[in-house]
Amino acid sequence: MRVEGVVFDFDGLILDTEGPVFTAWQEEFVAHGCAPMTIEEWSLEIGTVGGLDLVEMIRTRATIPFDEAAMHERRRVRRDELLAREVARPGVHEWLDEADGLGLPVAIASSSPIEWVGEHLDQLGLRHRFAAVACFGDGIAGKPAPDTYLAACAAIDVEPRAAIAIEDSPHGVTAAKAAGLWCIAVPHAITARLDLSHADLRLSSLADTTLRDVIAGRERPGRR
């Protein structure tokens, strides 16, 4: 089938926000005398909304007095300090350039609020590269529900089955497939350990290949 559009996830895919967010929370667990979170525990939070009640987890496990307001302030400062060191993940700029060259509309489908995604796109200088940004909120459910992908495809006027999704998490792949998109998994350091076998293709990095080559494989006769 001919590819007519591309939909990117944001967190962990365009920008590695996942590592800084996880590290900042993990440091709070340790600071309050809790055992560190496992990747299996954290995986419930990746790519979705409200997967874990992290505050309650610290509160119930803490062996050191817990001040929620102070914890959040310290955690956010640490998160933002780590985020400031991040740049767009390898291959992102090149794939966006290729999409432009091929005349393919590009959108974002994210479980994060529009304010979070928009702020980071502005900092990266990438907001203008996306024709639409579909985020959790205003009646749009977060992943693994298909809503963000359906909204993104509608916004760029592309049928989901004619679009490629690019994801980094199991919840994201589930959402893309439920919406009817062909999905590429490009995990980061954390999600590389999780089960992404339900994706149609897995890459270690967008820099490993080109969008053109992926599309050629997708459009090969016999592929649906």
Give me the tens of pLDDT residue by residue for the chain, a chain 224 residues long.
799 999 999 999 999 999 999 999 999 999 999 989 988 899 988 888 888 899 999 999 999 998 999 999 999 999 999 999 999 999 999 999 999 999 999 999 999 999 999 999 999 999 999 999 999 998 999 999 999 999 999 999 999 999 999 999 999 999 999 999 999 999 999 999 999 999 999 999 999 999 999 999 887 755 55
Q: Is 65 exposed, middle or buried (0-12, 13-18, 19+ CB in 10 A)?
A: exposed
3-state secondary structure of 178: helix
pLDDT (0 to 100) of residue 212: 96
In the prediction, which pLDDT does 224 show? 53
- Per the annotation, the verdict on 138 as an active-site residue is no
pTM over 0.85: yes
Is 11 annotated in the active site?
A: yes
From 11, 16, 168, 200, the catalytic residue: 11
Distance CA(83)–CA(77), nearest Å, equals 10
Q: N- to C-terminal Cα distance for the chain?
A: 6
pLDDT of residue 125: 97
Looking at 9, 147, 168, 200, which residue is catalytic? 9
